Structure formats: C-alpha cells, structure tokens
Amino acid sequence: MSAQTPLSLDTLRSAVRDAAAIRAVSRLQPAGGPGDKLFPSSYAVGDREPTKYAVEQRRVDGQTVECVLLDSVASQANRMEEALRRAWDRGQLTDLPVIAVDFSASEGLEDLDRITALDAPHRIADALLRDASLDGTPFRFSPPGEALTRARPDNAGPLFRWCPTALVFGVWDSTGPRGGMGSKFPRALVSEVVGINSVRGVKTASRLDPAGIEIKAATLLEAKDASQMWTLDESEAVMEGKAAKKYGRTKSESGKPSAANHGNVAPSIEDRAGGVTMDYAVQTTVLSLTALRRLGFPTDGDNQPVSRERRAQVEQAAHTALAALGLAAIALSRDEGYYFRSRCHLVPQGPLSFELIDRDGAISGPFTLSRTQAIDLLHQAADAARAAGIGWEQGEISLKPAPKLVALIQRSRTVKATGQGDEQAEK
C-alpha cells in the first residue's frame, strides 16, 4: 500500500483474521517548539521522593535515557472515549449504542446533564449506571445490566450488543452480583505518550496583593451568613467571643487572610514538579487483533446460540467491527489534538500513520485513516456485523438515576461547598 492508501473494510477483515496488531507511532514536540518546557501529570508521593512525576530509565536507540510519562494508558483511553462521545453528540456515530444516566431533571444536578458509559471510569460497570434504572427497572436487572452479568471472554455477544466500547477499552464488573468473579475483559487498545531524554526543571510562584493586606492584619471568622463566607465582627460569626470559629479552608490557613485569598504569597521555587524539557515525545498506540480474536461469540446479542456453520462468519464480523471501533477512537482522538493540561500541549511532526504487524512480525503499510474515513469504516463494519446477525444496539439507552443517588450527590455538593470535602476530612 502507498502512504496515502486508507484502510478499506476488506483489508481490515484480512488483518483481523491474520495479523497480530495494528499500531501507530507518532513523534511529537511541544507546541512552543523543541526545548519548550512541558508539565507532565504529577502524582502523590512521599516527601523523600525527588520528583512528583512518573520517570523511569528506558532503552531508546540503544541508549539508556530518562523518560517521563506525559499521558498514561488510562488517560489515553479516557481521551479516546471522550472523542467518541463528542462525535456521538454531534450525530456522527448515530448507530453506536451509548448508555447514559440522565440527570437533567434532577434538582441542582442539571449541570451533569448525561453521564455515559464513555465518561464513567468503570464504563458499563460503573456505580453511576448501577444505581440507575431503565424504564423503571433497576439497571442490573435490565437487558444491558443482565448482559453485563453473563458476558465473559468466551461469550462476548451480550456485551457486544449493548456496550461494544467495553470490549475495546476493557472492563471489570467487580462490584456486580458476582463480585470479583464478574465479567472481566482486558484492554485490546493501549496508548501512551512519553517524553524521551527528559531533564527536570523548576518553577516559581508568588503573588503580590495590590491591596497590600498583611498576614497579621486580622483574624478571619466564619460568618453565620454563608453568602458572606467570613467576617471580622464576632457578633456575626458562627460562634461569639473566644469560641468564635476561625475561617479557613485548611488548618494551616485557619483565620489568616490567605484563607480568603487575600494577602501576598512569598516567592518560592518548586523543584519536584517544575516541568521538564526533552528531546521529543512519542505516542505509541497498539490495537491488539490477537486480543480481539480471543473474544468468542457462540451466541448473538440476544444470547441465542449461533450455529457451527455460522459461527466463523459471526465472529469475523464482530472482531472486524470492534477493530473499526478502536481505529475510529484513535483517529478521532488524534484529530482533536494533544492538549493534555495547562503547559502540556504537543503537536505531531507528521500525519497519523498505521502499520499492520503480521503474526510473524512482518510489517505492511503504512496507511492513513482520516476522521471521516474512520467514521465511514466503522459504519461499514457495523452494518456488516448486523447483516451477519451480531449487530449492536443503536442510539442512546437512557437511564434515570435512583433517588438515593441523586440525594448522595446533592449532599456531597453541600459538603464540598462548606469546605469540608475529602481533603479537609483527612487532615
């Protein structure tokens, strides 16, 4: 194939039958250009750790160099699912089934709108879906919930019907009726972004209060009127006299002007999360066709047995549709760019390019797949699967949150609004 040849459905079918994997390796640079500083994700570590970043020694071009994780496998999966969700919201993936919990009618939670299996961290097995109902039936006793309960790698048809993305990105139904023995499907699609030959830096912080408020100017008290937050008048405080409750979001700031974001912040230097420079970054994405072939389809989406004569055809169609779904997730995510967080924006140094890796390690390609081509390929593969008798549901499967779930979220928001969230409770 030439460099400009997109992947066709026939080529994908052949690859799903015979190849080991499809991969894409992209070299990236900071949007600010080579040598610009980037800020990777930081992690909670002990005080004695030299850095809050995920760094390790890797072998690159025969050399041992320090590398830093810029975007993890889990984060990349979330970004790909988000890209699918946005395409679905725009009406570009109308035949893809998406299970959603609709909070739009829940008082005070309208901003949540819909949380889907593409948003929830545990996908179709997430507690937000579990604690909801479909047409008045608790989710776990509804058709998609029961499909999740009975699905397993050697019988993936039920889950394919209701949530095929879970078969691509992986899912473990560890809190369902079967506990730790619940449905468990490993990821077939993995991706990560790593900075190569990275060097750690420092960052500075300071704030000059234009009002010049000094730290010892006064003690802030918590106001009885929640809309006022704090007060200097003891009579307006939650408690009066010596018992007056000091206002503060943390114990260390209790009563200080800084608790209300007033006053100066002394200049400081941070060297454990001070950003990095690097030679370049690499995104490595692998769709394992071997993993997809290990999914069995002895039954269709209705859990009806598939005849021996038809099983090979059904499984080929299902595996191809799942591969097309994975490729669409890759292409859609790539099209949305590499803005990971503030001061961590990268740009590719060339177009998205795929390679097919045969079972014996031989490489064919490269081939390209644009956003539009990937969507068209997914529609073709889904139609072919449907024609083979193993189609998935189409459109939104809308759930209603249980009253207890709504109440829990409302109470959680109340606690957070008063500054008594998890961080304060742990202190």
Helices 371-387 and 308-336 cross at an angle (nearest 10°) of: 160
Domain range summary for the chain, segments of one domain joined by +: 9-199+275-405, 209-263
3-state SS assignment for residue 413: helix
Residue-wise DSSP of 297-327: -SB-TT-PBPPHHHHHHHHHHHHHHHHHHHH
- Torsion angle (degrees, nearest 10) of CA 152, 158, 164, 169: -20
Please classify residue 252 by burial: count the beta carbons closer than 10 Å to its beta carbon, then call 0-12 exposed, 13-18 middle and 19+ buried.
Answer: exposed
78-99: pLDDT as tens digits: 999 999 999 999 999 988 999 9
Beta-carbon contacts of residue 59 (< 8 Å; ≥ 6 apart): none
For residue 427, what pLDDT is reported? 36
What's the CA gap between 377 and 323, in Å, rounded? Answer: 10
C-alpha to C-alpha distances, 410 to 131, 213, 403, nearest whole angstrom:
15, 36, 11
Q: Which of 163, 135, 169 is nearest to 148 (CA)?
A: 163
Contact (Cβ atoms closer than 8 angstroms) between residue 103 and residue 112: yes
According to the model, what pLDDT value does residue 424 have? 44
CA dihedral for 330, 364, 295, 317, sign (positive or negative): positive
Say what the pLDDT of residue 96 is.
96
- Position of tokens 């394919």? 160
SS3 of residue 355 by DSSP: strand
Strand partners, 246: 221
User: Can you name the residues that pair with 64 across neighbouring β-strands?
Assistant: 59
SS3 string, 88-140, reads HHCCCCCCCCEEEEECCCCCCCHHHCEEECCCCCCHHHCHHHHCEEECCEEHH
Q: Cα–Cα distance between 208 and 213 in angstroms, integer?
A: 10
Task: Determine the Cα–Cα distance for residues 252 and 47; give it in Å rounded to an integer.
Answer: 18
Residues paired with 204 in a beta bridge: 269
Confidence (pLDDT) at 425: 43
Distance CA 61, CA 59 (A): 7
CA-to-CA separations, 202 to 142, 244, 264, 275, in angstroms, rounded: 53, 41, 21, 6
DSSP state of 154: T
What is the residue whose two structure tokens read 């970004």?
79
Neighbours of 182 (CB within 10 A): 18
The model's pLDDT over 207-240, given as tens digits with 9 standing for 90+, comes to 888 999 998 999 999 999 988 999 999 999 999 8
One digit per residue, the tens of pLDDT, for the chain of length 427 reads: 445 688 899 999 999 999 999 999 999 999 999 999 999 999 999 888 999 999 999 999 999 999 999 999 999 999 999 999 999 999 999 889 999 999 999 999 999 999 999 999 999 999 999 999 999 999 999 999 999 999 999 999 999 999 999 999 999 998 777 777 778 999 999 999 999 999 999 998 888 889 999 989 999 999 999 889 999 999 999 998 889 999 987 888 899 998 899 998 888 888 888 999 999 999 999 999 999 999 999 987 677 898 888 999 999 999 999 999 999 999 999 999 999 999 999 999 999 999 999 999 999 989 999 999 999 999 999 999 999 999 999 999 999 999 999 999 999 998 887 666 665 444 3
